[in-house]
């Protein structure tokens, strides 16, 4: 869980952002002083008494395990929830109210382990490798950098930078910016990685998106013709191939990388919903379902991930940007 000092600065920054950017609520200097005083006395929990009375736009709140989170709510009826720990989007409800993301029942909110479910980050490493599985970005608290407190299309930008902890695994200076925007029936993200070091570095990355689904009816379209790396039956020795199917289903264990994937995939979740997953500059895709390796929940979700499997080489000062746009059709 974030320290008291960390919680104070997070929430104090949130008030300043709302004061500067909100068109629906203003926070004056006395409120900021009161907010700071209450936070120092009571930690994150004190924030609940000082929120705007409107539920639309961008709000901060205390989440599970006392972890801070950001809530986005649109006048169109859509909602999203983002934990600063891991910059993990844990809930997305388009207008109509049904959550289209999936949180695993074994998800923990203790600030020590990555949140299992929603849209976790894989950076600066996808999969296993010299550092922890999927890198460190999903296992650190990001900072709230900016917000657009719009009643129509609220947005928030989170930031992660190098630290002694990250440099112990990956000795480079970097900045990661993650912008999340909510619309009535869609959710958009933009990830920007910048090399702030004096030497080049390389990385791989992905958005490990868990979609709520019925495994028996879920299917994905748009992958035909892709070169594949299939980790079934041996995850340590992927089998190269080519996707020949128009429609990909999940009949058993699925862990397959699709290289050079289309920038638009279609997911039918088996629950009556059809989602379009568009992207800009995410060149690859991953499908994953653990089947009986996760007996308690595998029937309830599928992972359809935008990914950068090939290594990105970046010189000092260079940036890499990739966008994702998920919509209910």
Does residue 271 lie in a domain region?
A: yes
Record the pTM. 0.85
Note the pLDDT of residue 54.
57
CATH number reported for the structural domain that contains residue 220 in this entry:
2.70.98.10
How many angstroms separate the CA atoms of 71 and 272, rounded? 26
Whether 264 contacts 252, CB under 8 Å: no
Extract the tokens encoding 254: 């699925």
Give me the sign of the Cα torsion angle 99, 100, 103, 104: positive
Note the pLDDT of residue 37.
32
Does residue 273 lie in a domain region?
A: yes
Does residue 2 lie in a domain region?
A: no
What DSSP line would sit under 104-147, residue for residue?
A: -TT---SSSS---BSB-EE-S-SSSSSSSTT-SGGGSBPEEEEE
What DSSP line would sit under 234-270, residue for residue?
A: -TTSPEEEE---SEEE-SS-EEEEEET--SEEEEE-S
Does residue 144 lie in a domain region?
A: yes
Note the pLDDT of residue 235.
84
Q: Does residue 280 sit in helix, strand or coil?
A: strand
How many angstroms separate the CA atoms of 114 and 296, rounded? 19
Tally the domains of the chain.
1
Which domain range does residue 244 map to?
55-328
Does residue 18 lie in a domain region?
A: no
Active site residues: 208, 305
Does residue 313 lie in a domain region?
A: yes
Q: Does residue 104 sit in helix, strand or coil?
A: coil
Does residue 202 lie in a domain region?
A: yes
| pLDDT tens digits in sequence order for the chain, 329 residues long | 333 334 333 443 443 344 333 333 333 333 333 333 333 323 333 333 323 435 899 999 999 999 999 999 999 999 999 999 999 999 999 998 799 999 999 999 999 999 999 999 999 999 999 999 999 999 999 999 999 999 999 999 999 999 999 999 999 999 999 999 999 999 999 999 999 999 999 999 999 999 999 999 999 999 999 999 999 988 889 999 999 999 999 999 999 999 999 999 999 999 999 999 999 999 999 999 999 999 999 999 999 999 999 999 999 999 999 999 999 99
Does residue 62 lie in a domain region?
A: yes
């Amino acid at each position: 869980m974030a320290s008291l000092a960390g919680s104070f600065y997070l929430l104090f920054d949130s008030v300043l952002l709302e004061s500067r950017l909100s068109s629906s609520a203003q926070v004056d200097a006395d409120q900021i002083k009161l907010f700071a005083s209450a936070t120092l006395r009571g930690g994150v929990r004190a924030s609940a008494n000082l929120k705007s009375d409107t539920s639309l736009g961008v709000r901060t709140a205390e989440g599970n395990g006392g972890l801070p989170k950001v809530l986005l709510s649109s006048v169109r009826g859509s909602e999203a929830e983002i934990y600063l720990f891991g910059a993990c989007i844990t809930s997305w409800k388009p207008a109509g109210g049904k959550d289209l993301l999936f949180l695993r029942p074994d998800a923990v909110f203790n600030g020590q382990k990555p949140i299992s479910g929603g849209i976790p980050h894989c950076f600066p490493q996808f999969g296993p490798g010299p550092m922890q599985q999927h890198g460190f970005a999903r296992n650190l608290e990001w900072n709230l950098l900016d917000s657009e407190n719009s009643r129509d299309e609220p947005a928030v930008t989170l930031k992660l930078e190098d630290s002694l902890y990250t440099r112990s695994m990956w000795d480079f200076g970097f900045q990661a910016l993650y912008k999340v925007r909510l619309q009535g029936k869609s959710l958009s993200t933009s990830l920007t990685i910048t090399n702030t070091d004096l030497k080049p570095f390389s990385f791989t990355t992905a958005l490990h998106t868990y979609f709520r689904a019925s495994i028996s009816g879920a299917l994905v379209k748009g992958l035909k013709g892709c070169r594949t790396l299939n980790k079934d039956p041996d995850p340590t020795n992927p089998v190269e191939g080519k996707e020949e199917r128009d429609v990909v289903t999940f009949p058993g264990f699925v862990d397959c990388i699709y290289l050079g994937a289309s920038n638009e995939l279609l997911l039918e979740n088996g629950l009556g919903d059809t989602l379009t997953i568009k992207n800009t500059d995410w060149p690859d895709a991953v499908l994953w379902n653990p089947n009986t390796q996760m007996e308690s929940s595998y029937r309830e979700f599928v992972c359809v991930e935008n990914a950068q499997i090939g290594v990105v080489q970046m010189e000092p000062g260079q940036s890499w940007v990739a966008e994702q746009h998920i919509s209910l059709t």
